[in-house]
Amino acid sequence: MSGNHGYIADKDAYVRRLKLIEGQARGLQRMVDDEAYCIDILTQVTAMKRALESVSLELLRDHMGHCVVNAARESDEAADEKIDEAMKAIARLVKS
Amino acid sequence: MSGNHGYIADKDAYVRRLKLIEGQARGLQRMVDDEAYCIDILTQVTAMKRALESVSLELLRDHMGHCVVNAARESDEAADEKIDEAMKAIARLVKS
Amino acid sequence: MSGNHGYIADKDAYVRRLKLIEGQARGLQRMVDDEAYCIDILTQVTAMKRALESVSLELLRDHMGHCVVNAARESDEAADEKIDEAMKAIARLVKS
Amino acid sequence: MSGNHGYIADKDAYVRRLKLIEGQARGLQRMVDDEAYCIDILTQVTAMKRALESVSLELLRDHMGHCVVNAARESDEAADEKIDEAMKAIARLVKS
C-alpha cells in the first residue's frame, strides 16, 4: 500500500535521519570492538533509542495529521478503524 | 579505558547483534523510499527499539556481574561509585 | 473546560479503576511498613505503573475518537491544534 | 522475608512519598468526576507515573547498595542470583 501518506513530503529528511541512526549502529560496533567501557556503550545505545523514538513520534504526527484526519472526514467507521490502528502503534511505542 | 569488562567474553555476539540492528536501519530507509504505509514503518521502528533494549539489558547484566561485583569486593566507596554510575545508566534506559 | 469529552460515557469505569490504583498505593505503603523484600515492592510498583499506563491509553483513545475527530471535521486548523496537543501528551507518555 | 533491606533506613520517607502518590490517585478521580479535559487528566497520570518511577529507581538503588553488595561479598553464586533477580526487576521497569 505505497503512495499517499503523511510523511511523503518529508521523505528525504526521514531517510537522512535513518542513515544517521545506521551510523550510530556502526559506531556502537566500533566501541565494542575497541572494548570501550560498558557504561559508555550503554550511553550511546540510549542515545540511539532516543533518536529512533523521535523519528517514531514524527511519523505518528504525520500519520495522524493526514491518514487519521482523512478517515475522520470520510466516516465514523473509517475514523474508528484508523484510530484503533494508531492506538496499537502508540501502545507498542509506550511499552518499548 | 578499554580492556577488562564483563561483556568482552561475548564481544563477537554483541557485534553481530549490532550489525543486525544496523541492517534494520537500512531496512527502514528502504521502507521510506518505497513509501510504505506509516504504521508498518512504525512497527519496524518499535522492533528495532526492542532489539536495542535487549542489547542494553544484557550489557548492563554483564557490567553488574563483573565491574559492580569487583567494586563491591574492593571497598564500600568503590561499590557506591559503580552503583551510582549504573543507576544513572538505568534511569536513562527507563526514560528512553 | 468541563463537559463533553470522549471519556464521559465511561466516567464511572474510570473512577473505579483509579480507586483500584489508589488501593495499590496503600498496598505499597503496607509493604514498606511491613519491611517487605525490595524486589517484591518493585514488582508491585511496576504493576501499578502498568495499570496507570492502560488508563492513559484508554483516555487517549477516547480523546482521539471524540475531540480529535470533531476537530478534523471542523477545520484543518482545529485538527492541527488538537493533534499537536495529543502528540505532546503521547510524547510525555512514551518518555515516562 | 521482612527485615534487613537497603530501604529500611528511609522507610518513613518512602511511606510519605507513597501517600502523596495515593493522593494523586484521588486527585485523578476528582478530575474525572468533574469531567476535566482529557489531556489535563493525561498530564496528571503521566506525573503520577513519573513519581512512581522515581520511587522505583530509589528502591533499586537501595537494593543494589545493600542486598547486591552483600551477595557479592558472600560468593559468586549469591552475587549471580541477586543480580539476575535485580535484572528481571530492571527489565520490567524498562518495559513499563
- Is the Cβ–Cβ distance between B62 and B6 less than 8 Å? yes
Every domain of chain A and the residues it spans: 6-94
C65 is written with which cell numbers? 475518537
| Per-residue pLDDT band at D1 (split at 50, 70, 90) | very low
A73 contacts C87? CB cut-off 8 A:
no
d(CA D38, CA C74): 19
Choose the mutation target among C50, C60, C69 for the interface with A, i.e. most A CBs under 10 Å: C69
Chain centre distance of CA A87: 14
**Closest approach of D82 to chain C, Cα-based (Å):** 10
Q: What is the largest CA-CA distance in chain D?
A: 57
- Residue indicated by cell numbers 474510570: C14
Give the type of residue at A27.
Answer: G
Give per-residue pLDDT as tens, A23-70.
Answer: 999 999 999 999 999 999 999 999 999 999 999 999 999 999 999 999
C45 is written with which cell numbers? 510498583
B72 contacts D68? CB cut-off 8 A:
yes
Task: Over range B8-14, report the average pLDDT.
Answer: 93
d(CA C62, CA C65): 5
CATH number for the domain whose boundaries are B7-94: 1.20.58.1000
C50-to-A69, A75, B86, C2, C96 alpha-carbon distances in Å: 30, 33, 24, 27, 11
- H or E stretch covering C45: helix C38-63
> Model ipTM?
0.90
A55-to-A7, B25, C23 alpha-carbon distances in Å: 11, 12, 38
pLDDT attached to residue C3: 57
pLDDT attached to residue A1: 47
d(CA A29, CA A39): 15
Give per-residue pLDDT as tens, D22-81.
Answer: 999 999 999 999 999 999 999 999 999 999 999 999 999 999 999 999 999 999 999 999
pLDDT attached to residue A3: 57
- Is the Cβ–Cβ distance between B83 and D61 less than 8 Å? yes
**Closest approach of C51 to chain A, Cα-based (Å):** 13
- The CATH superfamily of A6-94 is Metal-sensitive repressor, helix protomer (1.20.58.1000)
pLDDT attached to residue A96: 76
Q: DSSP string of B34-60?
A: TT--HHHHHHHHHHHHHHHHHHHHHHH
What is chain C's mean pLDDT, rounded?
93
D38 contacts C67? CB cut-off 8 A:
yes
D64 contacts B87? CB cut-off 8 A:
yes
Interface of C with A in 31-90 (CB under 8 A): 53, 56-57, 60-61, 64-65, 68-69, 72-73, 76, 79-80, 83-84, 86-87, 90
d(CA D58, CA C23): 22
